[in-house]
Amino acid sequence: MTLICRNAGLMALVALGFGCGPAVADVVRKQDLSGKEALGAAAVEPVDCTGQAKKFKPLAVDWEPDKRVELEASMKKGLVAVKYDCKSFEIIVECKLDGAYEYTGVSIREKVIKITDMDELSVNLPISSGSLGGEVRSGRTIDLALVMIGMKAAAVSKVNVADMSGCEDVTHFIRSAQLGAFSMATGSSGKVVAAAQLFGVGVGGKSASDHKALNRDGEIASCKKSDPDATAPPSQCRAPLKVELVPVMRTAIVASKGKKKPSPKVPPPENVCPKGYFNADGVCTKKQTVPHLCDAADEADCKAQCDRGHAGSCVNVGNLAYMKFKDAPSAFRAALPSWQKACEAQHVDGCFGVAQAHYAFAATEEGYDPDRMKKAIAGYSHACRLGSTNACLNGSVTYDDPGALQSFPRAAAFAARGCSLGGGTSCRLLAMAYFKGRGVKTDAARGARLLRRACLADTDGAYCVEYAETFAKGRAGLTVDAGAVAWGYERACGKDPGYACGEAGNYYKGQSDAVKAAGYYARGCKAGDEDACKAAKPE
């Protein structure tokens, strides 16, 4: 069987020799959400984060040192399963999940967060809010300097632990972790402080009348030596700053109802804060007076917050402007100024939008405008370095286009970075490059590993089916491997029973394995796939 492109937007890459994949102007994935919760102060209403199927990105800077060490060690061994309830974080070592993390450097970013009241403390640093509450109640602030230089990410989109032993207490798995250095100290309300100043508090026995050191890990000088293209972080700049927690699944997956082609606009930045809180450049707060991320549908507030300098709101202003026009060139022209403003503030989605706009402008009746295409490539490169998997993917596809600036080595380089950041489609593109020797030296074994990583990141099972078929037919010179075939089909069926279980049933039927075929057909039928039902009960 050949891989079926079940999304019309995926047809663009077929002509490029890569098979199914997204059109360049399509957005691949949204950015993810963040974390929550509370302490025990009577004046603060606790924030409930239990029972919610949401992704969280809690800060890890207030954890005990041994917890951060345990996290670093666990991420070297494989995908990390955890129990998280906003007040506590526990790694469940008994739960063995399939997946691995890869490090990717990004352009260095510094940020200083100032927590000024108990509400902000309870939500942003919930684990240590009890011990730090006295400082905040006394009128002090909690000042936190973050220096991010890279991340470790796993190309795993979802995990179902319904039938897995040792995973009974698991609530989430860690998909990624931001790495770098941090320094946390008490501060004074209204006093502006730079990251370097906070890293100097308490060093060499020095102290300051307006700051008291609380917690730190890493050295800012080491971070400044980081290279976005490095394969590992500097020795003194690899502390976990923030982790991305994705809820595990415990229920059966229903059949997909078909997929819509994504709109070629930039994904709106999502509010990473609990209900009732605003995202004010990394701090969850109830203060509406500070510049904050607007509701993506509230045009008036988005414009107001963008004018006040909130980059994420500028991204939303651009999106709203884009949606007012039906033809792409006009839409992108309307959105570009706001996306440029966001990009100037180094907002990754804004930079991706700028690149998208230049790509749209590059297309002419005669072909591509080379100057516009160069701007698009430069934009994709910048956003990719900031950590945008979408930009890495689109840069790869653009360089593979024979009508544009074709360069197979550069296409492979973009795909490699996107794959390291956890982009499943980039992993697949890179796998195809290694299978065919396009821009890289032919390496079927490496291509197979990359296709496996793409399968783990895949949301609808198509790449997992492709992985199974690759080993079933011995493509690219690989040896037929029944175990790899079974692994691919099982994961495909778990991602989209209505599509992939039927494909698995067809394969095993062709292998004259009636028992396995019947089992997969039954799973597909239970999920609502009519073809699987017919196959399970032939007339």
Average pLDDT score, the chain: 83
pLDDT of residue 15: 28
Please report which confidence band the pLDDT of residue 467 belongs to, taking 50, 70 and 90 as the band edges.
very high
Neighbours of 6 (CB within 10 A): 15
Q: Tell me the residue type at 83.
A: K
**Stronger pLDDT, 42 or 201, i.e. the higher one:** 201
The fraction of the chain above a pLDDT of 90, given in percent, is 50
Mean pLDDT, range 189-207, rounded to an integer: 76
Tens digits of residue pLDDT in 86-117 = 778 899 999 999 999 999 998 899 999 899 88
**Best-predicted range by mean pLDDT (99-113, 207-221, 443-457):** 443-457
For residue 19, is pLDDT > 80?
A: no
- Min mean pLDDT across 11-15, 348-352, 505-509 is at 11-15
Cα gap 419→155, rounded to integer Å: 7
Question: In terms of DSSP bridges, do strands 89-91 and 140-154 run parallel, antiparallel, or are they unpaired?
Answer: unpaired
pLDDT tens across 56-69, in order? 788 889 888 888 89
Instruction: Say how far apart CA 267 and CA 28 lie, in whole Å.
Output: 9
Q: What is the pTM of this model?
A: 0.80
pLDDT of residue 16: 29
Q: For residue 429, how many C-alpha atoms fall within 13 Å in the half-sphere facing its CB?
A: 37
Tokens matching residue 412: 């492979």
Q: What are the phi and psi torsion angles at 14 (to 5°)?
A: -60, -45
The whole-number average pLDDT for the span 435-459 is 94
Local confidence band at 289 (pLDDT 50, 70, 90 cut-offs): confident
User: What is the pLDDT at residue 85?
Assistant: 81
Residue with token string 């002419």: 364
The pLDDT of residue 18 is above 70? no
For residue range 294-314, list pLDDT tens digits in order.
999 899 999 999 999 999 999
**pLDDT at residue 30 above 70?**
no
Residues 6+ apart with CB under 8 A from 67: 60, 89
Q: Are 185 and 140 in contact (CB under 8 A)?
A: no
Q: What is the pLDDT of residues 221-270, one digit of tens each?
A: 999 999 988 889 999 999 999 998 888 888 755 555 444 444 446 888 87
Determine the pLDDT at residue 424: 93
Those residues with Cβ within 8 angstroms of residue 515's Cβ, 6 or more apart along the chain or in another chain: none
Residue with tokens 């927590």: 115
**Between these two residues, 328 and 76, which has the higher pLDDT value?**
76
Domains and CATH numbers, the chain: 8-31+295-536 (1.25.40.10), 65-247 (no CATH)
Structure confidence at residue 473 (pLDDT):
94
Look at residue 320 and tell me whether its pLDDT is greater than 50.
yes
Q: Name which residue leads in pLDDT, 183 or 9.
A: 183
- CB within 8 Å of 110: residues ≥ 6 apart: 145, 146, 147, 148, 195
Query: Tokens for 163?
Result: 């039938």
Quick one: pLDDT at residue 208?
54
**pLDDT of res. 5:** 36
Provide φ and ψ at 535, rounded to 5°. -70, -35
Instruction: Please give the C-alpha separations between residue 129 and each of 37, 100, 126, 132, 158, in angstroms, as whole numbers.
Output: 10, 32, 5, 5, 31
> In this predicted structure, what is the pLDDT of residue 281?
78
Cα 518 from chain centroid (whole Å):
37
Write the Ramachandran bin of 362: left for phi over 0, alpha for psi from -120 to 50, otherwise beta: alpha
Check whether 140 has a pLDDT greater than 70: yes
For residues 417-430, average pLDDT? 94
**pLDDT, tens only, 486-538:** 999 999 998 888 788 999 999 999 999 999 999 999 988 888 888 888 887 76
Q: Phi/psi zone of residue 122: left (φ > 0), alpha (ψ -120 to 50 degrees), beta?
A: alpha
User: Residue 510's pLDDT is what?
Assistant: 93
Q: For residues 406 and 218, what is the distance between their CA atoms, to the nearest angstrom?
A: 41
Question: What band does 42 get if pLDDT is binned at 50, 70 and 90?
Answer: very low
